[in-house]
């Protein structure tokens, strides 16, 4: 059947301005790190992207190495675009990244101009696009001068292959330096993508303040802390869970009795707020407006529906925030 988007999709989502730019992002964005690779069922991925868009989720986040195998998530997304979304391309924010290992030899990872330009060309081919909306440097390169990496991002914008650029996994100090280099080149840094959740608060140690001062937006990846901040593990590790398999993302050693005890108390809090734990965790990440968007990873349509519903209650009392801090202290 020909896909037709829900007419009411923009009534179902909140949109936030990304830093000091003119671009708005949905409060919830969909990441394609897992479950969209060549080993996964195409129709499941297709159904998840369709449902996300119907709920007003317009931002789809990829990277050159997402899969597995590497590159296959972009290929899957390109197929979904061709099948369903070409009429809606101008309503979508599509981002990709480069920085991690992608191909053998000295030009297949990190942050050289050679790698970043070649990688984006490959990503555009895999997705069947002329440009991406956001192109990120995925991780800092300890050996390539930051000026070269940022100049490559600026070049790709000037070539029309990306509308905006961003950075990911940068320390506060490096983010500030990158921002100042990009400003001097005339291509401001749009966004930073750090890991951030109730259980991973490193961005509070200076990064969020720098982003605010520099006018840079932020999108938090792993806001559910690898799925720990859900009700998934309250009764132990189930055979179909991510922690049960050979995952580089989450291992059983992270699901300790102490962690489960804390998660159980947070789950009770969420219930009193009329939310699932996952929804409260997303709301916490988005609280106060310092984070532009929370980036979710999903394996089924119902998880997207749960996440989108988190925007129905984004406020916290001071006591609730203090209680969360006490639980996780």
Three-state SS for 92-153 is CEEEEEECCCCCCCCCCCCCCHHHHHHHHHHHHHHHCCCCEEEEEECCCCCCCCHHHHHHHH
CA proximity to 189, closest of 199, 197, 179, 198? 179
What is the token pair recorded at 174? 């490096």
Residues 6 or more apart whose Cβ sits within 8 Å of residue 90 = none
- The neighbouring-strand residues paired with 162 are 132
Beta-strand relationship, 15-17 and 24-26: antiparallel
| H helix or E strand, kind and range, residue 59 | strand 59-61
Q: Are 66 and 37 in contact (CB under 8 A)?
A: yes
Task: Count CB neighbours of 329 within 10 A.
Answer: 6
> What tokens were used for 122?
């490959």
How much is the pLDDT for 255? 81
Q: What is the pTM of this model?
A: 0.94
Task: Determine the pLDDT at residue 252.
Answer: 61
Report which of 193, 222, 174 is spatially closest to residue 97, judged by C-alpha positions: 193
The pLDDT profile of the chain, 329 residues, written as one tens digit per residue, is: 899 999 999 999 999 999 999 999 999 999 999 999 999 999 999 999 999 999 999 999 999 999 999 999 999 999 999 999 999 999 999 999 999 999 999 999 999 999 999 999 999 999 999 999 999 999 999 999 999 999 999 999 999 999 999 999 999 999 999 999 999 999 999 999 999 999 999 999 999 999 999 999 999 999 999 999 999 888 865 555 555 555 555 556 678 899 999 999 999 999 999 999 999 999 999 999 999 999 999 999 999 999 999 999 999 999 999 999 999 99
Q: Which CATH class is domain 9-225+282-299?
A: alpha beta
Closest listed residue to residue 9, CA positions, set 308, 313, 315: 308
**Contact (CB, 8 A) for 125 and 64:** no
C-alpha to C-alpha distance for 184 and 24, rounded to whole angstroms: 24
Please report the pLDDT score of residue 250 as a whole number.
53
Query: In this structure, are residues 139 and 168 in contact, taking their beta carbons and an 8 Å threshold?
Result: yes
* pLDDT score at 195: 98
In this structure, are residues 233 and 263 in contact, taking their beta carbons and an 8 Å threshold?
A: yes
User: In 3-state terms, what secondary structure has residue 15?
Assistant: strand
| Secondary structure string (H, E, C) spanning 224-285 | CCCCCCCCCCCCCCCCCCHHHCCCCCCCHHHCCHHHHHHHHHHHHHHHHCCCCHHHHHHHHH
Task: Tell me the sheet residues that pair with 164.
Answer: 134
């Amino acid at each position: 059947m020909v896909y037709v988007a829900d007419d009411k999709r923009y009534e179902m989502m909140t949109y936030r301005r990304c830093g000091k730019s003119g671009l708005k992002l949905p409060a919830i964005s969909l990441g394609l790190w897992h479950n969209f690779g060549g080993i996964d069922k195409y129709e499941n991925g297709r159904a998840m992207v369709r449902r996300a868009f119907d709920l007003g989720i317009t931002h789809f986040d990829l990277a050159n190495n997402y899969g597995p195998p590497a590159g296959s998530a972009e290929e899957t997304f390109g197929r979904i675009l061709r099948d369903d979304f070409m009429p809606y391309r101008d309503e979508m924010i599509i981002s990709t990244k480069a920085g991690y290992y992608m191909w053998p030899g000295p030009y297949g990872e990190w942050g050289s101009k050679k790698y970043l330009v070649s990688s984006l060309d490959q990503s555009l081919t895999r997705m069947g696009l002329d440009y991406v909306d956001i192109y990120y440097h995925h991780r800092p390169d300890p050996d390539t001068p930051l000026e070269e990496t940022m100049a490559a991002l600026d070049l790709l914008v000037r070539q029309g292959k990306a509308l905006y650029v961003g950075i990911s996994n940068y320390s506060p100090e490096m983010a500030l330096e990158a921002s100042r280099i990009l400003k001097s080149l005339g291509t401001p840094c749009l966004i930073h993508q750090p890991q951030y959740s109730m259980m991973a608060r490193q961005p509070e140690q200076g990064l969020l303040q720098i982003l605010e001062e520099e006018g840079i937006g932020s999108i938090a990846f792993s806001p559910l802390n690898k799925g720990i901040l859900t009700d998934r593990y309250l009764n132990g590790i189930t055979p179909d869970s991510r922690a049960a398999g050979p995952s580089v993302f989450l291992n059983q050693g992270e699901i300790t009795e102490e962690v489960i005890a804390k998660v159980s108390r947070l789950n009770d809090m969420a219930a009193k707020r009329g939310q699932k734990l996952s929804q409260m965790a997303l709301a916490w990440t988005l609280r106060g407006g310092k984070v532009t968007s929370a980036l979710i990873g999903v394996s089924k349509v119902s998880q997207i529906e749960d996440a989108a519903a988190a925007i129905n209650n984004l406020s916290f009392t001071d006591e609730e925030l203090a209680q969360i801090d006490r639980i996780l202290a």
